[in-house]
Amino acid sequence: MTIPNQYIIFANQLGIDIADIVRLDKFKHIREDFPLKCLEIHKSPFSKIRLGKDNDGGYIIADLNNYDSFISCGVKDDISFEEAFIQKYNLNCTAFDHSIQELPTNNPKIKFIKKQISDINSENEDNLHNYINDFNNIFLKMDIEGDEYLWINTINENQLLKFKQIAIELHEPYEKIKWRMIEKINKTHYAIHFHHNNCSSTCKFNNLTMPENFELTFVRKNEFDNLPQLNEEKFPTQLDQANDVSRPIYFFNKYPFVK
């Protein structure tokens, strides 16, 4: 097979005979001053659980109670996480997605709003401010294909503190305007789990394997009794599942994901 110049092959870190073809130009914007510290993962004093269907669609979160709102942004054709969450924690859910006409299945506990999450409010867009301000212990799940940075930019620190826990998929966060949004969340929350979406690529950066798209789970700092230590467990963990079982799985066992 002839590989074009803009591609490179990375050997699968599992050591099996699989190669992954990765677009170099996906990561041409990674800066040498990218602050790895913004992706530090911390030990969780809370039990972790995985909710949602097997493989793509599930999320690993801290098992915390006493939420007063559940917002899900980006559902497409899969509401398995939302249904598992509302059953476990006895909550209703407000779900946003501009790319579908209706939910894949009807659930009376899920209110669907066909809007794109953005930095403004309009007929077709929503910045969630009206769904945040009246609550104090929100669970937020967000997978909105890169629009997360626009949205985070509109949220102030007091509003971020409304979120007890956030499970968010981040897309190519290696431009300064993007990583500053992660740093913004880190002021109020600790990241307690990392999951590489192996439907996406990886790249080499300063001798590290860095993911293109990945999920981070954040827990609000005031939920912790003590300053948490940095994580020492390699990813993926036993709870994690590959998003795509036909693609390679990469192990992340170095800083910033592991101490």
User: Dihedral of the CA atoms 111, 117, 120, 126 (nearest 10)?
Assistant: 0
Structural domain total, the chain: 1
Q: What is the pLDDT of residues 69-81, one digit of tens each?
A: 999 999 999 999 9
Tally of CA atoms within 13 A in the half-sphere of 51 that contains its CB: 20
Counting every residue, how long is the chain?
A: 259
Cβ count within 10 A of residue 198: 26
pLDDT at 47 over 90: yes
Q: Does residue 1 sit within a domain?
A: no
As a whole number, mean pLDDT of residues 184-192 equals: 98
Q: What is the pLDDT of residues 190-215, one digit of tens each?
A: 999 999 999 998 988 888 889 999 99
Residue-range definition of the domain harbouring residue 107: 31-223
Q: Does residue 75 sit within a domain?
A: yes
Q: Does residue 53 sit within a domain?
A: yes
The backbone torsions φ and ψ at residue 30, rounded to the nearest 5 degrees and listed phi first, read: -65, 125
Cβ count within 10 A of residue 181: 19
The set of residues, in sequence order, having a beta carbon less than 8 Å from that of 162 and lying 6+ positions away, is: 132, 133, 135, 136, 137, 138
Q: Does residue 60 sit within a domain?
A: yes
pLDDT at 12 over 50: no
Q: Does residue 24 sit within a domain?
A: no
Q: What pLDDT, on a 0 to 100 scale, did the predictor assign at position 206?
A: 80
Residue 28's pLDDT band (boundaries 50, 70, 90)? Answer: low
Q: Does residue 67 sit within a domain?
A: yes
Q: Does residue 39 sit within a domain?
A: yes
Residue type, 141: K
Q: What is the pTM of this model?
A: 0.89
pLDDT at 181 over 90: yes
Q: Does residue 135 sit within a domain?
A: yes
Q: What is the pLDDT of residues 140-166, one digit of tens each?
A: 999 988 889 889 999 999 999 999 999
CA distance linking residue 210 with residue 191, whole number of Å: 17
For the purposes of burial, counting CB atoms within 10 Å of the CB of 98, is it exposed (0-12), middle (13-18) or buried (19 or more)? middle
pLDDT at 4 over 90: no
CA distance linking residue 201 with residue 24, whole number of Å: 9
Q: What pLDDT, on a 0 to 100 scale, did the predictor assign at position 143?
A: 93
DSSP class of 133: T
As a whole number, mean pLDDT of residues 88-100 equals: 97
First-to-last CA distance in the chain? 39
Write the CATH number for 177. Answer: 3.40.50
Tally of CA atoms within 13 A in the half-sphere of 168 that contains its CB: 24
Q: What pLDDT, on a 0 to 100 scale, did the predictor assign at position 207?
A: 81
pLDDT at 252 over 60: yes
